[in-house]
Chain A
Amino acid sequence: DAKTTQPPSMDCAEGRAANLPCNHSTISGNEYVYWYRQIHSQGPQYIIHGLKNNETNEMASLIITEDRKSSTLILPHATLRDTAVYYCIVSPHSGAGSYQLTFGKGTKLSVIP
């Protein structure tokens, strides 16, 4: 079972910021938060990951709450090409299961012109 909860779908206007929430209230101290996305008919694509500090890369920003029980993925200026299913995943840093990405149902983000 996935250890995360995400809304099934969201809409975002093109050019606006898309904020995708994820609840992971049972996260353990050694588990990272990963975000992947899957555009229709393609393989999943890595976006970003973090442990407890906020992270930013060329694709997105990841905001993790201080208690680490939830996080938000931010796409600062959504484009039509960002329409995809976004998956929030928690996985251990090392040891058993650390290579296993357990994908849930994700959030289907629709970017609207």
Chain B
Amino acid sequence: ETGVTQTPRHLVMGMTNKKSLKCEQHLGHNAMYWYKQSAKKPLELMFVYSLEERVENNSVPSRFSPECPNSSHLFLHLHTLQPEDSALYLCASSQEAGGPSEQFFGPGTRLTVL
């Protein structure tokens, strides 16, 4: 247990569906992150939040919409996804949004888009 939980662990959705991924950290951290890990590709940083403000958006398509209502919760809202968006989506948190603060990762949500 890393102190970062993600739900659901597995999700199958059609291209016209709208779904949300949830991440919660119990570590009192100030920064939270979304990463995407596709098959046979390195982890890609998607979004960074520091004290509930988005500080990084790595050219992510608008069909992915993050939300950080407070420093403990992070959501990733999904709509009109494509099959190539199927991947493992990982949430992480760190004390601060900046090095050399270690990041704690959740177990991930395995997303399949049909």
Contact = CB atoms under 8 A, between A and B. Distances in A.
A, B from the same assembly: yes
A49 interface: yes
B74 to A, nearest CB: 14
Given A2-B42, A43-B105, A44-B43, A98 B2 contact: no
Interface residues of B, number: 26
A104 interface: yes
B42 A32 contact: no
Contact of A101 (B55, B103, B106): B103
Nearest to B102: A46
Q: Classify chain A: how many residues form its interface, as a range.
A: 20 to 34
A91 interface: yes
Interface stretch (B14-22, B63-71, B75-83, B93-101): B93-101
A34 B45 contact: no
Contacts of B50: 99
A77 interface: no
A105 interface: yes
A105 B42 CA distance: 6
A102 B97 CA distance: 15
A42 B6 CA distance: 12
A52 B110 CA distance: 37
Contacts of B45: 100-102
Contacts of B99: 32, 91-94, 98-99
Interface in A56-113: 91-95, 98-106
Given A100-B45, A101-B103, A43 B33 contact: no
A93 B100 contact: yes
Interface of B: 2, 4, 31, 33, 42-43, 45, 48, 50, 55-56, 90, 92, 94, 97-108
Interface of A: 2, 32, 34, 42-46, 49, 51, 91-95, 98-106
19 contacts: A32-B99, A43-B90, A44-B43, A44-B90, A44-B103, A44-B105, A45-B2, A46-B103, A94-B99, A99-B31, A99-B33, A99-B48, A99-B56, A99-B94, A99-B99, A99-B101, A100-B45, A101-B45, A101-B103
